[in-house]
Amino acid sequence: MTKILHKVILSSRVDRADAVDVAEKTIKYMLNKGVKELLLDETLKNKITIKNEKIRYINVKDFSKHKADIMVIIGGDGSLLRALHYFEKTPPPVLGVRVGRYGFLMEVEPEHVSEALDEIFKGKARVIARPRIVMYVENKRLPPVLNDYVILAPRLKMVHVRVSKKSTRETILNAYADGLIVSPTAGSTAYSLSAGGPIIDEELKVVVVTPLNPMQLRARPVVLDIREKLTVEVVDRDSEVYSDGIFCCVIEEGSKANIEFWDEVLFYRLKRDYYSRLKRRDYV
């Protein structure tokens, strides 16, 4: 049975001609398939040569205002995380097209985009749900993350961080470190992995707490259920907070942040190659 896609969001990196070329081919494919409305990242406006009344250019910050059937992201993991950064509401199912060096979160290579979309239109594509978490600092809600929150001490300084479980009030991490990484499942293969954190199977729903270069040898990464609510205390030094690589705010000395499960984002999966993708990280 053919699936009807009424509205599609598409974003692409624009600093590479091959990415723009893939975007243009994907747009043509979508129009030929009868998509009713194509919402394109406005950064593509002077790059795309196709003229069609079904195409609208909007700011990536406004993507979340539109209820779409699918979101296609062309580029690397940074391109994907940039688009998701502005979705406080759960975004539409995502198809990632890899045009970049690593692109661990991206599903298909450019030459297989039409095949992947054919599977989606036929309703045969498998989806996997990846959880996001959200942080509150002084009652301010930060953008939810798919990859990680990173708390960083000032340059060449260390910060005393203390992390506890709300359910039992137990302290699970208490250390001096360069900072702290808190990531849901998808982020386990990103900065957390580089910092010595574990690889989490994509079928698991967890949150990983990884200290950055801790002074104490006993301070090791901790894996908890995704529904566990956490409190992070920055004991002795103002520290910066980054949401999926984007600076958000400063946590003041003596302040606390709360972290909890937010939602799940659906990703189209055409292949079961999670562990093979990890080999991309070995490329230089």
Rg (CA), the chain: 20
Q: What is the dihedral of CA 140, 144, 147, 148, to 10 degrees?
A: 10
| Residue in this structure with the two tokens 């989606």, named with its chain if needed | 120
d(CA 66, CA 11): 14
Nearest C-alpha neighbor of 41 from the set 26, 32, 33: 26
- Collect all residues with Cβ–Cβ distance below 8 Å to 169 and sequence separation of at least 6: none
d(CA 21, CA 47): 9
Determine whether 77 is an active site residue: yes
Exposure of 243 in the CB half-sphere (CA atoms within 13 A): 23
| Residue in this structure with the two tokens 């798919």, named with its chain if needed | 146
d(CA 147, CA 190): 7
d(CA 94, CA 17): 22
- Collect all residues with Cβ–Cβ distance below 8 Å to 112 and sequence separation of at least 6: 270
30 three-class SS? helix
Nearest C-alpha neighbor of 268 from the set 104, 126, 160: 126
- Between helices 17-32 and 113-121, what is the axis angle to 10°? 30
Compute the residue count for the chain: 284
From the list 15, 41, 62, 77, the catalytic residue is 77
What amino acid positions are annotated as catalytic residues? 77
